[in-house]
Amino acid sequence: MKTPEKKPAKKRPLSEIEAAECAALNAIYKAKKKTLGISQEKIAIEGLKANSQSAASHYLTGRNALNIEAAAVFARYLQVPVSDFSERLAKEIKGISSSSESNIGETRQPVQSFRYPVISWVAAGAWAEAVEPYPAGFSDRYEFSVYDSKGPAFWLEVKGDSMTSPVGQSITEGTLILVDTEAEVAPGKLVIAKLPDSNEATFKKLVNDGGKLFLKPLNPAWRIEPFNEDCRIVGVVVRALQKF
């Protein structure tokens, strides 16, 4: 079952809190850049692993809202704790620290981040047949996560509303989901699968009903797909990142 084509989403303005975080970060950057000998280009290319300084500029000027990964990079280069410019993200990092029993959060050495490519649903569908992970030209876009994958991993941008639920767990259109191709597959997990009648991958919840496996959308308006021997699990969804 193919998901509907995604319509271009309008970029929403930052909330007051997000705008204030960017402004606070920009003030710290301006105050410390000469002393530390850093630049937007250095932070963007070396830290954010982007192609130009605009990646850093978009956060500093408030064009893009800060996320955990970007905040960690800025904190490392500016040698400040994340809480100096974002109490909100500092609390999120502290929550991750508590759940993983790792030493991140309110320190001078913020959480390590990992770089993964953003690919198309067609490329994800072909993953199982790929001879090698990340061939040349595989992707020209990358995003970061604090998640350290067990195997090759990639981001997908959610299309359509098949995983949007009116209650409980819900993954909305436009969300970036991180797929670990070697994470443990088990009923109850969100997975990326390849159906035999489609050249694209599909995003569903793997469920067990009466000893049989099914691919279940979170949106009750969408039908459940049986998981048979011709279906393939590409990977398990391990993180979700809402981009604005």
- pLDDT tens per residue, range 178-191: 999 999 999 999 99
Report pTM.
0.56
DSSP code per residue over 139-207: -S-EEEES---SS-EEEEE--SSTT--SSSS---TTEEEEEETTSPP-TTSEEEEE-TT-SSEEEEEEE
Q: Is 161 found in the same domain as 62?
A: no
Residue 160 falls inside a structural domain: yes
Q: Is 187 found in the same domain as 76?
A: no
- pLDDT tens per residue, range 83-132: 899 988 888 777 655 544 433 334 344 456 788 889 989 888 887 665 45
Q: Is 108 found in the same domain as 220?
A: no
Range of the domain at 38: 16-112
Q: Look at residues 50, 80, 112 and tell me which one is the last residue of a structural domain.
A: 112
Residue 38 falls inside a structural domain: yes
**CB neighbours of residue 193 within 10 Å:** 22
Q: Look at residues 112, 133, 151 and tell me which one is the last residue of a structural domain.
A: 112
Q: Is 173 found in the same domain as 94?
A: no
Q: Is 29 found in the same domain as 85?
A: yes
Residue 45 falls inside a structural domain: yes
As a whole number of angstroms, the distance between CA 176 and CA 198 comes to: 21
**CB neighbours of residue 242 within 10 Å:** 12
Helix (H) or strand (E) run with residue 241 in it:
strand 232-242
Identity of residue 27: A
Q: Is 187 found in the same domain as 149?
A: yes
Burial 13-32 (b: 16+ CB within 10 A, else e): ebeeebeebbeebbebbeee
Spans of the chain below 70 pLDDT: 1-12, 95-112, 128-138, 242-244
Q: Look at residues 68, 91, 112 and tell me which one is the last residue of a structural domain.
A: 112
